[in-house]
Amino acid sequence: MNSKLKAIVRNTVIGGNEPIKVQTMYDDKISDINPEIVVGKINDLSLMGCDLIRFSYVSSMDGENFRYITSHSPIPVVADIHFDYRLALEAMDNGADKIRINPGNIGDKWKTKMVVEKARDMGKAIRIGLNTGSLPKHGKNDDVVELMVNTALEYISDFEAWNFNNIVVSLKSSDIDNTMRAARLFNEKSGYPFHLGVTEAGNAITSAVRSTWALGNLLKEGIGDTIRVSINGSIEDEVLCANEILRTLGLKKGGVRIVACPRCGRHTFDSHGFLNEIQHRLLTLNKDITVAVMGCSVNGPGEAHGADFAVCGNGRKIFVYSHGSLVSSLSSKEEAEKELFRLIEEE
């Protein structure tokens, strides 16, 4: 069961019985980017299955670019604020659909109250985000999980006193056990929508493993309404990994599913290189299909027959299949790529 309560972020509903939402976070300073290029990237991320995107809003120099992004983004945009409450107020004026704050590092309570009241009046959402690395002062032997959960509940109580409940909560740790304990304990005590993630999880491999274990188990227990897989790498990989977790658990349907061989000494076709060249284009297609890319005759034909579309190298030829039927026998990967996308687009 998802959270009992819901949060509204622009036109996106988080919580209740809504599907799990996928998030990522942009990895450059807003003031340093070309906003038109970034919006194009957000469009691609949306097609890949990203539902919300977050930016660090670090100074007033971010305002102009951020305003362009929020006014052109196809998905809700979140402003990540630390320390200066005035930046949260400014980000909302510049179109932020949601603010992520840790009230503990905003400072005096009146500052947090100003942010909350503005969000209430403008119809914005707020994520209360706490990490074990940014908690109130505590003793060495204190249970950081209990402290994190109780601190979040105190902040929620303040928000409710200010007549605000458009809230999402995240309680993260780089320690998997602490992340899972915090999510379970909060779920016992509150019905607000909950964002799942393992913070500072490492590179693509370590993050995928840690996040799959922690998030997969929590989602199977019915805990979690949004997820982010934090990767020291590309944000596209974050989105792909998050969606793959959801598909593996049966919590998400549709999208392009890729089947590809790991390659071995029997290969006669560079399936790695071919997939690297076409993967981005494939994953931004708004289609519910399976595409196989195979490198030899052992498993290639079988996977080709089981996929909607397939490219299989065998000897000096590259074979292209559609719904199990051989369509073309070609001599170059350029021809194979062109034929594959022709078949997909005709579909």
In percent, the amount of the chain with pLDDT more than 90 equals 63
The pLDDT value recorded for residue 305 is: 81
**pLDDT band for position 139 (50/70/90)?**
low
Q: What is the pLDDT of residue 330?
A: 87
Mean pLDDT of the 124-153 span: 84
Q: Using 50, 70 and 90 to split pLDDT, how confident is the model at 306? A: confident
The Cα–Cα gap between 93 and 310 comes to 49
Q: Which of 21-35, 86-100, 111-125, 311-325 has the lowest mean pLDDT?
A: 311-325
Q: What is the CA radius of gyration of the chain?
A: 23
CA pair distance 333, 80, nearest whole angstrom: 43
pLDDT of residue 3: 57
Specify the pLDDT at position 331: 85
Q: Which of 39, 21, 40 is nearest to 228 (CA)?
A: 21
Between residues 268 and 35, the one the model is more confident about: 35
Per-residue pLDDT, averaged over 184-211, amounts to: 89
Give the global pTM.
0.88
Tens-place pLDDT, residues 284-294:
888 889 999 98
Residue 303, pLDDT > 90, answer no
- DSSP for 299-344 reads THHHHHHHSSEEEEEETTEEEEEETTEEEEEESSHHHHHHHHHHHH
pLDDT the model gives residue 127? 97
Averaged pLDDT, 317-328: 90
| Residue 56 buriedness (CB in 10 A; 0-12 / 13-18 / 19+) | middle
Count of helices and strands (H, E) across the chain: 12, 15
Give the integer Cα–Cα distance in Å for 120 and 113.
10
> Residue 314 has what pLDDT?
79
What's the average model confidence in pLDDT over 124-144?
A: 81
Report residue 1's pLDDT band, with 50, 70 and 90 as the boundaries.
Answer: very low
Mean pLDDT of the chain: 90
- Note whether 301 and 312 are within 8 A (CB): yes
Rounded average pLDDT over 302-313: 85
- The pLDDT tens digits for 27-62 are 889 999 999 999 999 999 999 999 999 999 999 999
- β partners of residue 259: 292
Q: What is the pLDDT of residues 3-29, one digit of tens each?
A: 589 999 999 999 998 999 999 999 889
Whether the predicted pLDDT of 156 surpasses 80: yes
Whether residue 264 is predicted with pLDDT greater than 80 in this model: the reply is: no
Q: At 26, is the secondary structure helix, strand, or coil?
A: coil
**Is the pLDDT assigned to residue 118 strictly greater than 90?**
yes
Burial level of 230, CB count in 10 A (0-12/13-18/19+)? buried
CA dihedral defined by 200, 205, 206, 212, rounded to 10 degrees?
90
- In angstroms, the CA 75 to CA 72 distance is 9
